[in-house]
A = this chain, B = another copy of it.
Amino acid sequence: MDSSLPTTDTLGSLGETAVLARIFPRLPDADAAIIGPGDDAAVLAAPDGRFVVTTDTMVHGPDFRLAWSTPFELGWKAAATNLSDVAAMGARATALVVAIVAPANTQAATLEGIADGLREACAELAPGCGVVGGDLSVSDTLVIAVTAFGDLEGRAPVLRSGARVGDLVAISGQLGLAARGIELLFSDAVDADGHPDTARVPALRRAHGAELAAQLTPRPPLGDGVLAALAGATAMLDVSDGLGLDARRLALASGVVLDLEGVAIGVAGLALEGEHGEVTAENVLRGGEDHALLATFPLGIELPGGFRPIGHVREPGAAGPEVRVDGVPYETRGGWDPYEDWNGSRG
C-alpha cells in the first residue's frame, strides 16, 4: 500500500497508541526542550529563571466550523492565538503542550492535519518553538486545548497596567479583518438553510483571501511583542475581543483614558478604504480575533517593528478610565461570550 495515499483510518479503528505514532513525527521540536515528549512530563529550559504561561482552548461550534476550516488551519490557529498571548507579555514563545479531545470516528488524517498546522505555525511565527507534550482523549465534540510558554530573556513582562498619561497608543497587526472574515463566512459560505457549506468556501477564499486568512490562519506580529518590550513599551495586550473592549481592559488596568483617533484605526471611513474597503467600524471596534498587539509607549520613542500610532493616553475625567474615539467616550462593550453568544450550532 502506498503510504502517501489518504486513508480512512479513524481514531477508533487505530487506537490511541497508533494515532500518537502518526502524530508525533509531525510535531515540531522545541529548542528549549531538555526532556521532550514521552516521559511523565517534559522538562523545559527557563534560562531567565522565570517563564510565561497562557492557555486557550478552541471548541468545535463556538470557536470553529469543520465546514470552513481545514485541520491544518485549526492547528495553525490554535498555535497562533496562544503564541500571541505570549508575545503580548513581551516574551519569546518557546513551547506548547496540546490536549486534543476528538470523537472516535474522527479521521486520523484530521489529527495529522492539526499537527501539521501546529508545526507550520511554530515554524513561521515562532521559529524554535515546538510541542513538548500533550494528551489525547475522546468526546463527541472536537476540542483543542493549547498551553503556551515563553521566555522573557531577562526583560520585565509588559503588563496591561503600565500605561501612563502622555504615552502614545500604538497598534501592530490588522484590525477588523478577522471579524470581516467570519461575517463573510456566515453570509456567503452557508447553504440556503444557513448551514455552513464547505463547497462555497473556495470561491470566498478567492474573492476575500485576506479576510479569510485573517480569520482562519491568523499571523499575529509576534516579533513585535519582543520589540515593544525592548523599546520600552509601558503596557501591552493581545487584541482578541475587538479593539473597543481590549482597549478598555488596558485603560481600566492602568487607570487611564485611551483616546484613539478614528482615522488611525480606520473607523472614520478613511484608513481602510482600498485593499480591505469592506472592513467596518463595527469590525474594528467590536469584532474579535485580530490578535493585533495594542501597546503604549513613552512619547518620543521611535515605534518599533510594525507599530503605528493610533492615539494618546489621557488623564481620566469624572467618568474614570475609559476609551474614547476622537474624544468621544466609546461605551459599546463588544467581545464574545461563549455562554451568551453561541447559538449551539456546529457544522
Contacts and interface: CB of A to CB of B under 8 A. Distances in A.
Contact of A40 (B98, B145, B237, B344): B237
A57 interface: yes
A118 B314 CA distance: 41
A46 B51 contact: yes
B53 A45 contact: no
B40 A51 contact: no
Q: How many copies does the complex hold?
A: 2
B15 A147 contact: no
Contact of A145 (B15, B99, B133, B342): B99
Contacts of A88: 40-41
Interface stretch (A166-174, A272-280, A299-307, A332-340): A332-340
A44 B91 CA distance: 13
A86 interface: yes
Nearest to A344: B104
Interface stretch (A65-73, A135-143, A177-185, A260-268): A135-143
A101 interface: yes
Contacts of A40: 54, 85-86, 88-89, 160, 236-238
Contacts of A61: 138-139
Most B CB contacts (10 A, CB to CB) among A41, A138, A337 go to A41
Contacts of A152: 43
Contact of A89 (B14, B39, B253): B39
Nearest to A84: B40
A53 B149 contact: yes
Given A35-B157, A46-B46, 19 more contacts: A12-B339, A16-B337, A17-B337, A35-B89, A39-B160, A39-B161, A41-B52, A43-B50, A43-B51, A43-B52, A44-B50, A44-B53, A46-B51, A53-B133, A55-B98, A55-B133, A57-B101, A101-B143, A140-B141
Interface of A: 11-12, 14-17, 19, 34-35, 39-57, 59-63, 85-86, 88-89, 91, 95, 97-99, 101, 104, 132-141, 143, 145, 147-150, 152, 157, 159-161, 236-238, 253, 337-340, 342, 344
